Structure 1
């Protein structure tokens, strides 16, 4: 069995999505998502059917937390996209749109190839990371764990 890398990251919005505060973020969503879709090693991303992203999903039932989830072939593919020329400028501006949270906001975990994680799966993995730190069940790009053995 082969495995792919699932990732989740959340953000607590500073204002409603349709507010002037969030305008640049929302205006850039299509470009950022298109770059992900075209990236080497990209497999899948969560979409809500309401547009180009997944802004309709909430995390832990909190209307101010939005979620991004995707699946990648490798950590290197994810890293290349995250720090690439299209996504990086938005990453650098994240404090304009999202509150700084002291707890972990990003978690990674391995899923069997072809499996697509749910928001509930992501909530569980981020909780594990927050409670136990990086483990094989939930980790980060800075503290990676290898693919499970087939």
Structure 2
């Protein structure tokens, strides 16, 4: 059965190593948010560094999720002291569970504060695509799909919450705060 891959990416106003209270607040919120999302129905897994891995995002061993990669528009640091980004790569059973996890609970609270921490850009902050059971998406897959979404808009290969597609590549409509099961028409 196909699974849904989700890649998220944002450029932070300050490097992760910045000792300011605002940056610390962002850092401190991450683990509780990941823990809550990890327990959400429909969440199948997320990219985490291999235990014992050390360094910046770019130096960590991400195992089957591949080498860490970022979109071409990221122009900030790549060391422990200069990296100014937040990225995630995860697998879901479908759009509705991902939507519910992202737009409820602790993550919703963080989204309400995103402009305290993240730069405003003209680039998408997330992208979805369907993968088969045998596939573990890689960071490079996520970057490629996010850049495709930016360049070409929402299509079955790379789509957003706002213009989703079914695993059969049929456009879906959004109903209220969730996704309808009916094709767009």
TM-score, scaled relative to structure 1: 0.88
* Counterpart residue number, 1:16: 15
Paired position in structure 2 for 1:31: 32
- CA displacement at 1:114 relative to structure 2: 4.3
8 A contact 1:10–1:106 mirrored in 2: yes
TM-score normalised by length of structure 2: 0.72
* Equivalent position of 1:75 in the other structure: 95
1:60 to 2:71 alignment: yes
Residue among 125, 140, 145 paired with 1:120: 140
Deviations 1:16-43 (A, max 9, x none): 1122131111101110000111000000
Q: Counterpart of 1:115 in 2: which secondary structure? A: coil
Identify the residue that residue 7 of structure 1 maps to in structure 2: 6
Say which SS state the counterpart of residue 126 (structure 1) adopts: helix
Q: State the distance in 1 between where 2:135 and 2:23 align.
A: 32
* Native 8 Å contact 1:41 1:72 kept in 2: yes
**CA distance in 2: counterparts of 1:139 and 1:80, whole angstroms:** 17
> What is the CA distance between 1:68 and its match in structure 2?
1.1
How many residues of Structure 1 are paired with residues of Structure 2 in the alignment? Answer: 145
Q: Secondary structure at the match of 2:109?
A: helix
Partner residue of 2:131?
Answer: 111
Aligned twin of 2:106: 86
Greater Rg over alpha carbons, structure = 2
User: Any gaps of 5 or more consecutive residues in structure 2?
Assistant: 58-67, 78-83, 170-185
2:160 corresponds to:
140
Contact 2:44 2:91 in 1 (8 A): yes
CA distance in 1, matches of 2:45, 2:7: 12
Contact 2:36/2:106 (CA < 8 Å) preserved in 1?
yes
In 2, Cα distance between equivalents of 1:104 and 1:120:
16
Q: Is the 8 A contact 1:3 1:148 kept in 2?
A: no
